[in-house]
Amino acid sequence: MIARCLLAIALIFSKAAPAFSQAQTPARRISGAVPAPDDRARQWLVLVDDKNYTQSWREAGTAFKTRQKNDAWAADAATKRGSLGAVASRGLKSIDLSRNNTAVVRYDTVFARKAAAVETVTLNFENGGWLVSDYTVE
């Protein structure tokens, strides 16, 4: 009986205690590019979908802001997107990371008044994150 108890205790401790010689799992490194380009593009597009053009301009990158002022962007976006209607669905089509510090993210988008559109969001890596530098919808 004592032998069985000792054997049971030995089995419990051999399974419960990890071996100290095993290598520890290295800590996961988080990139400075969080969120990823496609996530950041979607976040920005939600602002445009919600007609929050001023905020989308504020959250855009230097190239975007240099090319057009806030009021011009708001007017252009309202004209461009207003005629298309609300977004019914948006699916990732492609991500091109072939250019240094640039991501081109394309979406197949269905709008209320345009069944097959392609949205292209170009982002540049600046100030530790991805910022929109251009947007087109075809």
Share of the chain above pLDDT 90, in %: 72
CATH superfamily placement of domain 33-137: NTF2-like; domain 1 (3.10.450.100)
Q: Could you tell me the residue ranges of all domains in the chain?
A: 33-137
Give me the pLDDT at residue 3, please: 45
Give me the pLDDT at residue 91, please: 97
Report the alpha-carbon distance of residue 79 to residue 56 in Å, rounded. 15
Beta-strand ranges (E) seen in 37-113 are 87-96, 102-111
| N-terminal to C-terminal alpha carbon distance within the chain | 81
At 53-100, the pLDDT tens digits run 999 999 999 999 999 999 999 999 999 898 999 999 999 999 999 999
CA neighbor of 44 nearest in space, from 22, 60, 33: 60
DSSP letter for 86, please. Answer: S
Q: Is the model's pLDDT at 133 over the cut of 90?
A: yes
